[in-house]
Amino acid sequence: MNRKYTLLLAFSAFLGTGVALAGNPDRQGEAGANQLIINPWARCAGLHAMNTANTVGPEAMYLNVAGLSRVSGSQIQLGHTRYIADINLNAIGFAQPVGKGGGVFGISLVAMDLGEFEFTTTENPEGSGATFSPTYFNMGLSYAHLFENKVSVGVTAKLVNESISNAGARAFALDAGVQYVTGENDNFKFGISLRNVGSKMRFSGEGLSKQLPNPGPISYNNTYYERATAYELPSQLNIGAAYDWLLGKQNRLTLMGNFTSNAFSRDQLGGGVELSVLKNFSLRLGYKIELDAPTAEETIDNGISGGLSFAIPVRKGSDTRIALDYGYRQTKVFDGIHNLGLRLEF
């Protein structure tokens, strides 16, 4: 037991160093790869990502990878996000327990679909009829471990990619998290996670080249490459707590709160509530605000969120279950953000 608590304290101290990175609105707009902070999972989105302390399964690889270890078997999860301005996100996550020691491996892939754009150049500023589609995706490999059903820790290594046909930028990032469960019925939960800490990104490729005349007496063209400015990843620290009220043996009402400290924008604070009935139906409601933000400067992803889930066994008495998830987030502009999800537990 002492070893377990020592590990928890050490890991929490490591994550706590992220506080020094966060809550700096003066640096807003300096980070890139913002697809890393767009939530692609419906259950988590319905709570406005206020469930750092109690997120579980493949979707935990987005918010707090420690929750990956709290699965009873293999899980496959699909997510589709109808984001603003006809932008779509598609995600797939897989969790697989390893042996009987409490370890779980996970793989996740999230891709952003931005649609098609006209290919323009300085010679053809109105376009030549050709189009291109940007490629934005991040892929993660995760491992989480559960100690005696009380403490879970996890880490994710991510490859981040942004590219077009003739230029691209890549980075490597790490996420880490911890969850702690206590109480007479394991109904009090605490979680902390540090996300998107990694190398800078810088665009390079033929798209940054120029053909210019040779300055010497011999007439020919030289190829020059412009050096793009490097940019940071949107690092953030999440701290959350949750409490379960058990309503009988199979029903529960969970109240949760969360604080998000962002390295390149204002901090966020919020809470959520989830009602689960017979493990077959869940209803969620969340609210998030951006601290110290004038109304005119608030980001779009704040306000009210909500969602629900339906889960059914594949056949009577089977442990294999299939579930449908839906999440909605209010936005200041456009028509809100919609998340759909499909889960298979086996």
Structure token digits, residue 309: 């889930």
Q: Name residue, tokens 């998290």.
A: 177
Amino acid at 301: D
Residue 225 CB neighbour total at 10 angstroms: 12
Query: What pLDDT score does 234 carry?
Result: 94
Which bin fits 35, alpha (ψ -120 to 50), beta or left (φ > 0)?
alpha
**Residue 63 contacts residue 51 (beta carbons within 8 Å):** yes
Low-confidence ranges of the chain (pLDDT < 70): 1-26, 295-298
What's the CA gap between 94 and 168, in Å, rounded?
27
Q: For residues 217 and 73, what is the distance between their CA atoms, to the nearest angstrom?
A: 73
pLDDT in tens, 55-67: 999 999 999 999 9
DSSP structural state of residue 229: P
| CB neighbourhood size of 244 (10 A) | 20
Whole-number CA gyration radius for the chain: 22
Cβ(112)–Cβ(87) under 8 Å? yes
Q: State both tokens at 34.
A: 């913002």
Report pLDDT for 189. Answer: 97
Most distant pair of Cα atoms in the chain: their distance: 89
What per-residue confidence (pLDDT) applies to 22?
47
Structure-token pair, residue 169: 């930028």
Using one digit for the tens of pLDDT, what is the confidence trace for 32-79? 899 999 999 999 999 999 999 999 999 999 999 999 999 989 999 999
Domain coordinates in residue numbering, the chain: 2-204+232-345
> Which CATH code is given to the segment(s) 2-204+232-345?
2.40.160.60
Enumerate residues 6+ apart whose C-beta is below 8 A from 294.
none
Tokens 């291109």 label which residue?
Answer: 132
Question: Looking at residue 35, what DSSP letter applies?
Answer: G
Give percent above pLDDT 90 in the chain.
64
Coil, helix or strand at residue 207: helix
CA–CA distance, 31 with 130 (Å, rounded to integer): 30
Give the separation between CA 247 and CA 259, rounded to whole angstroms: 27
Name the amino acid, one letter, at 278: L
Predicted local distance difference test score (pLDDT) of residue 279: 83
